[in-house]
């Protein structure tokens, strides 16, 4: 597995799936973008490196040795994609930054201090019923009401603590978004294609993402790799980013301890595109779970509001289908776990996809990645 650090050389336009360009419209940027954005950027660079005509590749006339074809992907796959930084100075050790797992809630006191609280599974009280198929519900126990705090990221040390079942430390493990990037609004002008001049009354606004020094993205790649110093066209308008090969293994849970305990948490590190909404692949109506030899029971789930994944298919020159996805950071609790450490590792490497019949293109783009955690 090869880890690539992508450091922007310019502002980035990381567009979501909302239309923009009409008069008065506003194009928001999303940080981080979907893993499909970096998959497309790296694949385009690989095609350029190997002298492959992108148009011929897009129509399936040429099959690349690692990329395969757009309809039949090869061995190339994004196995992890996260925001990353080199610390406050911009020159320190590279570390990943993660969405807060959904079982962690950050609140802000009246004095301005940040506190972290843990959501835990609890059986519903007497007389309480819900449509959830799980036997327990995620509960945040608080004596007093507090205001939620947003825009916080978990560094690698904090993620390692969480994977070990510990509560991350606010001062040492949380990073505010304003220390990582800023937003700069840019005005665009609609063009008349026939006359090649500005069209009347067609001003629109876009958000440009301005990364702080040493802030970028880490993508773990299987099947191929780029050399140091390669320039990528990344995001909207093909803004530049430089690639650095790095030794940056992602934090992992203790699979031996998890197998012995017979229970675990599972957290999505990239959005999960599942056939049944928030339900994991292999999850039955009674919340039983079986996937690639790993068996258990989903007893609880903390899944934020679904997002819609789409994108632009360069090969077919058309929008990709819009699909609902469970957001990165979604947490599932599994009990009655029956699996060896090797089976757990195999599932983590494969991602939350069935053994066959899955969408190979979305898997190659890096969706449905996760890690196991003790609890």
Give 192-245 pLDDT, tens digit per residue.
778 878 777 777 788 889 999 999 999 999 999 999 999 999 988 889 999 999
Q: Which two tokens stand for residue 256?
A: 């031996």
Q: Cite the residue boundaries of each domain of the chain with CATH code 2.60.40.
A: 255-373
Going by pLDDT thresholds of 50, 70 and 90, the confidence category of residue 266 is: very high
Q: What percent of the chain has pLDDT over 70?
A: 97
| Helix (H/G/I), strand (E/B), else coil: 48 | helix
Total-model pTM = 0.92
Token pair, residue 273, equals 């595109």
What is the helix, strand, coil percentage profile of the chain, to 5? 15, 40, 45
Looking at residue 187, its pLDDT comes to: 80
Q: Around 258, how many Cα atoms within 13 Å sit in the side-chain half-sphere?
A: 30
| pLDDT for residue 289 | 97
265 pLDDT tier (thresholds 50, 70, 90): very high
User: pLDDT above 90 covers what percent of the chain?
Assistant: 70
Sheet holding 197-211, edge to edge: 26-27, 197-211, 181-192
Kindly state the tokens that stand for 230. Answer: 């390669």
Rg (the chain; Cα; Å): 22
Q: Cβ neighbours of residue 108 under 8 Å, at least 6 residues apart? A: 114, 115, 146, 147, 148, 149
The pLDDT, as a whole number, for residue 314 is 76
Residue (of 24, 35, 38, 82) closest to 243 by Cα position: 38
The CATH classification of domain 255-373, taken from the options 2.60.40, 3.20.20, 1.10.260, 3.40.50: 2.60.40
DSSP H/E element including 307: strand 307-309
Report how far apart, in Å, the C-alpha atoms of 111 and of each of 46, 105, 107, 146, 185 are: 51, 18, 11, 11, 32
When the pLDDT of each residue in the chain is averaged and rounded to a whole number, the result is: 91
Q: What are the tens digits of pLDDT across the range 98-132?
A: 999 999 999 998 787 899 999 999 998 888 888 88
Statement: residue 368 has pLDDT above 60: yes
Has residue 273 got a pLDDT over 90? yes
Q: Which residue has tokens 């969408």?
A: 359
Q: Where are the beta strands (DSSP E) in 69-146?
A: 77-85, 95-99, 104-108, 114-118, 120-122, 137-139
């Amino acid at each position: 597995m090869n880890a690539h650090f992508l450091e922007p050389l310019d502002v980035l336009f990381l567009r979501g799936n909302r239309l923009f360009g009409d008069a008065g419209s506003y194009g928001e940027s999303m940080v981080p973008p979907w893993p499909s954005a970096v998959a497309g950027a790296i694949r385009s660079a690989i095609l350029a490196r190997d002298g492959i005509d992108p148009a011929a590749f897009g129509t399936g006339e040429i099959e690349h040795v690692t990329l395969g074809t757009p309809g039949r992907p090869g061995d190339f796959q994004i196995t992890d994609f996260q925001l990353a930084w080199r610390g406050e100075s911009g020159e320190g050790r590279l570390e990943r930054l993660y969405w807060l797992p959904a079982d962690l809630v950050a609140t802000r006191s009246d004095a301005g201090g940040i506190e972290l609280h843990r959501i835990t599974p609890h059986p519903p009280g007497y007389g309480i019923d819900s449509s959830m198929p799980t036997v327990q519900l995620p509960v945040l126990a608080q004596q007093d009401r507090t205001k939620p705090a947003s825009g916080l990221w978990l560094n690698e040390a904090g993620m390692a603590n969480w994977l070990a079942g510990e509560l991350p430390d606010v001062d040492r493990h949380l990073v505010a978004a304003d220390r990582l990037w800023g937003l700069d609004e840019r005005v665009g002008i609609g063009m008349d294609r026939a006359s090649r001049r500005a069209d009347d009354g067609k001003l629109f606004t876009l958000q440009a993402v301005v990364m702080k020094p040493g802030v970028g993205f880490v993508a773990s790649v299987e099947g191929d790799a780029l050399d140091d110093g390669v320039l990528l066209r990344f995001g909207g308008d093909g803004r530049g980013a430089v690639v650095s090969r790095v030794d940056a293994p992602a934090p992992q849970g203790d699979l031996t301890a998890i197998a012995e305990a017979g229970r675990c948490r599972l957290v999505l590190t990239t959005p999960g595109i599942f056939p049944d909404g928030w339900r994991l692949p292999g999850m039955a109506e009674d919340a039983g779970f079986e996937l690639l030899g790993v068996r258990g029971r989903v007893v609880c789930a903390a899944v934020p509001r679904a997002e819609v994944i789409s994108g632009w298919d360069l090969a077919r020159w058309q929008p990709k289908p819009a699909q609902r996805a469970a957001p990165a950071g979604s947490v599932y609790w599994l009990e009655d776990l029956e699996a060896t450490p090797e089976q757990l590792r195999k599932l983590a490497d494969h991602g939350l996809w069935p053994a066959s019949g899955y969408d190979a293109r979305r898997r190659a783009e890096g969706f449905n990645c996760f890690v196991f955690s003790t609890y």
